[in-house]
Chain A
């Protein structure tokens, strides 16, 4: 009995040590700094002042709202696109669908900064050229207005994440027993009915994973934001991560930025837990 316990800790110790050093301790220090007026070099205790200031900081609130809007658009869009992709590539199993899988996944292999620059080129140069050739005002002036800046980010993120989420859906679609689909067919169900009543319920766990992944990722988005719009025009596309980074490393208001970071953490944690809780509940209901 003693030995078993001993082994347990022996194996857990290295990762525990690393997690403490890299995540846990800095996190606790971070919480401490959120109660100071740290500028990165000196810091003194100011209590909850940072948190009070945050709730009246128009720029911060604007960033929160923007991030919320962005998350909503991207979570919905990515999951719809990814599921469609997944259905498309699992319809048949041949070279073409395999090729498609690769194509859809490739954007995910490109780093965020590069993606940002690629899409900046597309939105400004390519769209601009299209607009002037075809005389369509829709294509001109992308990224120069708050709306097109936000949509630019959303489209970029759809393009990047859909392939990845598709893989998750593909894995779950392939795990659906063929016999259920076949028996539904024998009973005279058409494609749509098979999708709604056979496939969709069995995809519930995939939804949980995908929603969680896209939501968490869209809240933490930074590089794409930096490379594509850098917050512009006039700070209208500055998402929350970028707002925090700029407060910390451009303005050097690091205690203040830390407080914003803690708020972001609480927010993301709440959403994630809430979502997990409800999704799990939904899954269990389906199973029973």
Chain B
């Protein structure tokens, strides 16, 4: 971003942007598919979300790209026939694309109120794309995950989020070559200062950045998402 960013840090930023764009490109396409349907339909139903599957299924089936789950999560109370609903698809361990089965009744076993979870809450309040994680996604994949999500709006009205999951290990695979080639100790961190990946064994994935390293002047932000690259002090 700034002209004085050193080239090795710049290469890490390219790698981060590449991972981010795999997820956000798909998220944008989900938004583009869902938004006009919801704009035209004052009382949408689950069946109106059938537009999601043809957008996400071919991407998820492509094992050369890192997104492993994606879909649309309806704003609570949006749909006529389900107060809570995830129109979500994910790759199973054999690489096949499966629909996620969820319960929409609050009393049911697998019911899952997503209203307070950051991947839903943050885009709904800021109106901007968000990256959640690294976090243990215990309600869905049970994996160590990054979730990218963007709000779907019609006018001022928030109608849900489009989202895409990338496993932390897939992100790491794509970041490590640039991190390892760097001339200094670097970490890719989120807005909480949580490390996504680094080239330093003392500051590993999942750790929070030590206060001494959390200086804003040492951070190189990644445009459009709450991620940045920081130089670790010795």
The answer to whether A and B come from one shared complex is no
Write the residues of chain B forming the contact surface with A, with a CB cutoff of 8 angstroms. Answer: none
Write the residues of chain A forming the contact surface with B, with a CB cutoff of 8 angstroms. Answer: none
